Chains A and B, each alone.
Chain A
């Protein structure tokens, strides 16, 4: 067997392990799906009337605006779960056992990443379903839906590798739950919930140049037809950069520990 097929085989074994674990421990998944749904409902029904008026529409306009922000917030929330899962797995004897076996070194991490990505894509489908039920009206063609899904998947993969690295760097699962916390703020400190135009200069500068904003603008553009401009290219560059650096960081940490 070549090194590559060996790696693929071990990785798929580890993905199966991780999916089984997620099924056995559903409370984490439920929390990751329920939290963004609650935030969506709060923002639409509590704040949406006023915020929508500011956008020049009403509650209906705000549902359309806020969905990409909620989706990225869901990814950021899930990052916490992934980091905790990885940190607690690393503290268990089973990972020490894997290290003493002749298996592809990266497969343990790949298992975590693929498991989390699957979990988050399912979560996003639920959020989009709820959004459609309460008035989200995207005008995207099938190809645009596909592109939006691709953009979100790329983003999820990048953030998940980052949370895996953060989880491995954390001494305890408790510490791991804090590490990705700042990510949850990024949709707020960007164009997730209100357009950046209304923000004070410094904040606005940060909001426009941080990585979450181009991703949200791209998804918004694909689903709702707002202008995308350079955002798509910038978003892809951010995702590839964050993903690649996090991947190398995670692998290095795993090989050293």
Chain B
């Protein structure tokens, strides 16, 4: 398998700039998730790499071949990329088998051996080969779409929000099957998604795209633990961001003096406190800070607790049996170290 390099890529529609100078590299056989809210330009990035749209500036290189640069636009059919659309886009007039072998040459299509192999790869029974697409569930359609994309042995597989149209139950199962198939095929892949949990759990690397700019590219763990700025931190999950005064290795804020995970130049900034870093003590005594429970969202395995501390609103997450009620006075403590942004 092969790598992808995108450098200085720009795209505007009319007078709206969708992508500002994107630089991105995907290593061979890695899965990169492009994560961003809707309208951030992530689908446009994918369509530029596929060749469905022309870029305004910059280059795209797949393996050793430049497929787009100023004055050059290689047609999508010549780029040898696999593309899985949001809803699979299976051809409704063809059977599952005919869909899978669609991208193969005429002689290969006649032999039709690869269809069974690919059905195995995506974890579907071979008996499905003669069904019509509408006889499959949404998740099964997505798996067939991946099999179809993998059939011509593409250099790169691009998945455009492939799980967003599925309901929760199917989603988990389909994710697993597709991840497994991509690993077996040793495919280099890009997954576009707006779902943080999906991006963090599936990919080797995550690229966060905010307003047409790449905010951060990192492994899931780095991204969650060491977000580059407040915007990335806020986008990656529920956060408490409160103003504070940074003093080298510690920070002063409404929650007291907290240790920082890394040294920062002195000055005012924002302190990031993840909900799981707030410990709640049901009796408000001792060294803990006093707060009031204002709302409880109970999810079963855990619960999200909204707290009010003088003029500050905080969110905490607790697991296990819950002994709190709305209006209760509690004490809170912060588990150091925390991150801050200058």
User: Do A and B come from the same complex?
Assistant: no
